[in-house]
Chains A and B, each alone.
Chain A
Amino acid sequence: MADNRLKIRKIIKKALFGLLLLVIMVPILFPLYFVFISSFKNMAQVYIMPPKLIGFQPIFDNYIYIFKTQNYGTYMINSTIVAAASTALSLLFGVPAAYVIARYKMTKASTGILVARLLPNISILLPYYFIFSRLHMIDTYGVLIISHMVLSMPLIVWIMTGFFSDIPLELEEAAIVDGCTRQKCFTSVILPVCTPGLVTCSTLSFLGSWNNFQFAMILSGEKTRTLPVSLQYFVSGADIRWGRMMAATIVVIVPTIILTMILQKYIVQGMTAGAVKG
C-alpha cells in the first residue's frame, strides 16, 4: 500500500514538472509557430480569429513576393558576406590579442575591452557617418564590415581571454623548451586546444552581425542593404501586409534558429563567460 502511494506521488510529481516545462516552452514556441503559419496565409486569413492553426491551404505568394519583387536573395547574400567577413577579420585581430592579454595579464587592455563592450553603440555612430560619408564609403561592404568588427572584436577578445587563461602554462613551456618559437607554439599548440572557444565566439560574432540593425541602417544603402534593415520598410504606412512581413521575418530568423539548435552548447558557454566568474 505504502509502496503504491509513493509511486503515485512520484508520478504526480513528474507530471507537474512536465507541466512546468510546458509553461516555459509554449510561450516561446507558440509565437514562433504562429509567425511561421502566418507567412503562408493571405491578408484575410491572417485576420481570422480564432486563428486556423492547422489545415488551412498554405500559399507561397508572400515568399514569391519578397524574393522576386523585393530582392531578399540579395539581402541574404549581403548579410552573409558582412557577417562572415567581419567575423573572420575580428578573429584574425582579436584572437592573438586575447592570447597575450591572458598570458601577460594586461589588465588595462582587458578593462578597455570590457568598456568597449558596454558602451552605447549609438555614441560612435555619428562620427562614423561623418567620416565614412566623406570617404564615400557609405553603402559599401567595407564600412559595414569595419563597423561590425567594432562590435565583434570586444566579444571575441573577452571570450577568448577566458579560454586562454584556463590553459596550463606547462603546455606551452614544454613546446618552447623543445625549440618552438612563441608564435609557432601559439598556432600549433594553443589554438588546437581552444577550438571550442573559437566556435563559441565565431558563432556569437556571426549572429551579432547578422542581427545588427543600428549600424547597418545608417551605413548601408540600396546596394548593401542587409536583412534586418530591409525589415523596417514593411512598417511604413497604415496598410501593413502582415503575410509578407512575416515571410520576411522568417527569412531573417530561420538561419539563427538553425545555428542555435546546432551550436547551443557553445553559445551557452560564450554567454556565461565573464558574467559568472566576475
Chain B
Amino acid sequence: MTNFINKHIKWVFSLPALIFMIGMVAVPIVMTFVFSLNDWNLLLGNGMKFNWGKNYLDVLTGKEFWQSLGITFYYTALATVAEMMLGLSIALILNKNFLGKNFVKTVVLLPYMMAPVAVGLMWMLFYEPSSGLMNYIFTSVGLPRSVFVSAKQTVIPAIAAVETWQMTPMVVIVCLAGLSSLPAEPMEAAKVDGATPLYTFFKVTLPLMTQTLFSIGLLRFIDVFKSFDLIYAMTKGGPANASRTLNLFAYETAFSYYKFGLSSAMLMILFVIVLLLSVLVMKIQRKLVSYYGG
C-alpha cells in the first residue's frame, strides 16, 4: 500500500479532488445544457420534453432578456470602473510606510470580508427614503433628496455604489501588492530628472502597472457580472424589474416560475459569456507576461 502510493503519488493525490470537481461542476453543467434543450415546467409536472433549442429562440427573441443583459452590463461597468479608480487611488495613498499601516489595511479589508446579504441590508437602512442616513447627509450638504433603490432611474447606481463600497478592498489589496513589487529605479530616475509626481505616475508607474490593472480589472468585471446576493437582498430585481440582472432573471425563472428549461437556456448563455471573459483573462495575462518578460 505505502509503496503503491509512493509510486503513483501524482494520481493518488490528485484524483479524489479532480473526480469531485468533475462530478460536481462539469457534470452539472452538462445537465444544465440538457435541461436547456427541453420544455420543462416543474409546476405542470409533465417531465422533460425535447424541443430542439426552442428555449434559446424564446430567450433571444424576448425583449426581457435583452433588457436584463443591458442592466447587467450597465451595473457591471459602473461598479467595475468605480472600484478600479477608487481602489488604485487608495492603494497609491497607502503605498508607503507609516505608523499604523496594518490597522488601516485591516479597516479597508473589513467590508470585503462581510456577507453581501448583510451589507445589502445595512445599506437598505441608510437608503431608507423618508428618514435614512443617506438622505440626511444629502440634504445637509445641499443635495436633493433621493429615493435610491425605490426608483427605476436610481436603483442601479445605488446598488453599484454598495457593490463598490464592499468590493473595492480587493482592488486596493492587489494594487498595493503590484505597487510594492515594482522596481524602484525608474521612479528614482524620474525624480532625479525633476519630473513632477503626476508626470511620474502617468509616464512611469501606470505603464508598469498595466498587467496588474488588467488582471484585477477583468477579474472584478467577471465577479460583478455574476453578482447575485447583494441585488437579491436589496431589491430582488425591482422596482419594475429595473435591477433584474441576468443572474436574477434566470433565478426568478427557475425558482419563482419553475420554468427549468427556459432558465437553463439563460444560464447557458450566462455561462458562455463568463467563460469567454475568463478565456480573455488568461489570454491577456499570458500575453502581458510574455510582453513584459514576467
Residues of A within 8 A of B (CB): 17, 20-21, 24-25, 27-29, 31-32, 34-35, 38, 46-51, 93-94, 96-97, 99-101, 103-104, 106, 109, 111-116, 118-124, 126-128, 130, 146-147, 149-150, 153-154, 157, 181-183, 186, 207, 210-211, 213-214, 218, 227-228, 231-232, 234-235, 240, 242, 245-246, 249, 252-253, 256-257, 259-261, 264-265, 267-268, 271-272, 275-276, 278
- Whether B181 lies near A124 (C-beta < 8 A) is no
Does B195 count as interface, using CB distance less than 8 angstroms? Answer: no
Residues of B within 8 A of A259 (CB): 113
Which segment of B1-9, B51-59, B73-81, B185-193 sits at the interface? Answer: B1-9
- Whether A116 lies near B25 (C-beta < 8 A) is yes
Residues of A within 8 A of B216 (CB): 275
Does B85 count as interface, using CB distance less than 8 angstroms? Answer: no
For the complex, give the distance between the alpha carbons of A123 and B289 in Å: 31
- Whether B115 lies near A111 (C-beta < 8 A) is no
Residues of A within 8 A of B215 (CB): 275-276, 278
Does B122 count as interface, using CB distance less than 8 angstroms? Answer: yes
- Whether A128 lies near B14 (C-beta < 8 A) is no
Residues of B within 8 A of A (CB): 2-3, 5-6, 9-10, 12-14, 16-18, 20-21, 24-25, 27-29, 31-32, 35, 90, 93-94, 98, 102, 104-111, 113-118, 121-126, 128, 130-131, 133, 136, 165, 170, 173-174, 177-178, 181, 211-212, 215-216, 219, 222, 226, 228-229, 232-233, 247, 250-251, 254-255, 260, 263-264, 267-268, 270-271, 274-275, 277-278, 281-282, 285-286, 288-289, 294
Chain B min CB distance to A76 (Å): 13
Chain B min CB distance to A79 (Å): 10
For the complex, give the distance between the alpha carbons of A46 and B136 in Å: 13
For the complex, give the distance between the alpha carbons of A261 and B105 in Å: 10
Chain B min CB distance to A92 (Å): 8
9 tightest CB-CB pairs across the interface, nearest first?
A: A97-B17, A211-B115, A96-B13, A127-B28, A124-B28, A127-B31, A272-B177, A100-B13, A181-B6
Residues of A within 8 A of B104 (CB): 21, 24-25
Contact of B21 among A27, A103, A153, A207 (CB under 8 A): A153
- Whether A127 lies near B121 (C-beta < 8 A) is no
Given A213-B117, A235-B124, A278-B215, decide whether A123 and B267 contact each other with a Cβ distance below 8 A.
yes
User: From DSSP, what is the main secondary structure of chain A's interface residues?
Assistant: helix
- Whether B174 lies near A24 (C-beta < 8 A) is no
For the complex, give the distance between the alpha carbons of A25 and B93 in Å: 12
- Whether A268 lies near B24 (C-beta < 8 A) is no
For the complex, give the distance between the alpha carbons of A128 and B12 in Å: 27
For the complex, give the distance between the alpha carbons of A113 and B16 in Å: 14
Residues of B within 8 A of A257 (CB): 110, 113-114
For the complex, give the distance between the alpha carbons of A246 and B123 in Å: 10
Q: Which residue of A lies closest to B19 (CB)?
A: A93
Chain A min CB distance to B27 (Å): 8
Residues of A within 8 A of B178 (CB): 276
- Whether B125 lies near A242 (C-beta < 8 A) is yes
Residues of B within 8 A of A261 (CB): 106
Q: Which residue of A lies closest to B31 (CB)?
A: A127
Q: Which residue of A lies closest to B288 (CB)?
A: A278
Contact of B267 among A51, A126, A182, A207 (CB under 8 A): A126
Contact of A249 among B24, B118, B136 (CB under 8 A): B118
For the complex, give the distance between the alpha carbons of A221 and B25 in Å: 23
Please name 7 further chain A to chain B contacts, defined as beta carbons within 8 Å, in addition to the given A31-B122, A104-B10, sorted by A numbering.
A28-B110, A28-B111, A120-B274, A153-B20, A183-B5, A213-B229, A235-B121
For the complex, give the distance between the alpha carbons of A25 and B212 in Å: 24
For the complex, give the distance between the alpha carbons of A154 and B21 in Å: 9
What are some 14 contacts across the A-B interface (CB < 8 A)?
A: A24-B90, A27-B165, A47-B130, A96-B16, A118-B274, A119-B25, A124-B29, A181-B3, A181-B5, A218-B255, A231-B233, A242-B125, A256-B113, A276-B215
Chain A min CB distance to B256 (Å): 12
- Whether A100 lies near B10 (C-beta < 8 A) is yes
Residues of A within 8 A of B211 (CB): 278
Residues of B within 8 A of A234 (CB): 121
Residues of B within 8 A of A153 (CB): 17, 20-21
- Whether B121 lies near A149 (C-beta < 8 A) is no
